[in-house]
Amino acid sequence: MIGVRERFIEEVGLAAEADGLPRIAGRLFGHLLLSPGPCTLDEIADALNVSKGSVSTDARLLLRHGWLRRTSRAGDRKDYYEMAPDFFAGIVAYRLERWDALHDLVAASIPDFSDESATVRERLEYLDEVQAFFVAGMRQLLLEWRSRNEIADGHDRTVFLTPRS
C-alpha cells in the first residue's frame, strides 16, 4: 500500500507533467518540499527509486527555474539540494514565461489571419487582450511580492524576471 508521502510526491510529479515538465522533476520537487533539510542526489534518487542521472538532469532544470538551490557542507564534496527560499515566485515566473511565449505567438500571428472570418479574428484578438491583461497583472503581483518579501525580513529571496514591454 502506498503511503501518504509517496502519494503526495507522485501527485506533484503528475501535476508537473501536466504542466510540461518531466514527471521526475515534479517528484523531485515534491520530495524536497517534504524534506526537512538539503538532500544529495544519491539520497533523492534512492528515495524516488530512480537513477541519479535523471535526478541530476531534473535538479538542474529546477535550479534554472529558481525552484531549488544547490548548497554544500564544509568538508563534504557533494552537492546538496533544497527548496529555494522563495520557490513559489519561481513557479510564477516560470508560468509567466510560458504565457509570454503564447501571447507573443498570438500577437504576432493576428495579421496573418486578416482574411479569416470575423469570428476567428475576434477570438485571436480576445486571446491577445486577455493574455496581456492577466500576464501584466501577474507580473505586477510578483514584483509586489518580491518588494514585500525583501522588506519583511531583510533577506533577498527574489526571482528575477526579464521585464516585458
* Domain at 33, CATH number: 1.10.10.10
Would you say residue 62 lies in a domain? yes
Would you say residue 159 lies in a domain? no
Residue 162: per-residue pLDDT: 43
pTM of the full predicted structure? Answer: 0.77
Would you say residue 131 lies in a domain? yes
Residues 113 and 98 in one domain: yes
Residues 73 and 103 in one domain: no
Residues 65 and 93 in one domain: no
Residue 1: per-residue pLDDT: 67
Residues 15 and 29 in one domain: yes
Would you say residue 161 lies in a domain? no
Would you say residue 24 lies in a domain? yes
Please tell me the total count of domains within the chain. Answer: 2
Residues 19 and 79 in one domain: yes
CA dihedral over 71, 76, 77, 81, signed as positive or negative:
negative
Exposure class string for 81-97: b at 16+ Cβ within 10 A, else e: bbbbbbbebbbbbbebe
Q: Which residues of the chain have pLDDT under 70?
A: 1, 151-165
Residue 160: per-residue pLDDT: 44
State which residues form the domain around 120.
Answer: 87-153
Q: Give start and end residues of each alpha helix (H) in the chain.
A: 4-18, 23-33, 41-48, 52-65, 87-109, 118-153
In the block, cell 493574455 appears at 131
Is residue 114 within 8 A of residue 58, CB to CB? The reply is no
Residues 73 and 20 in one domain: yes
- The burial class, CB within 10 Å (0-12 / 13-18 / 19+), for 32 is buried
Residue 151: per-residue pLDDT: 52
Would you say residue 38 lies in a domain? yes
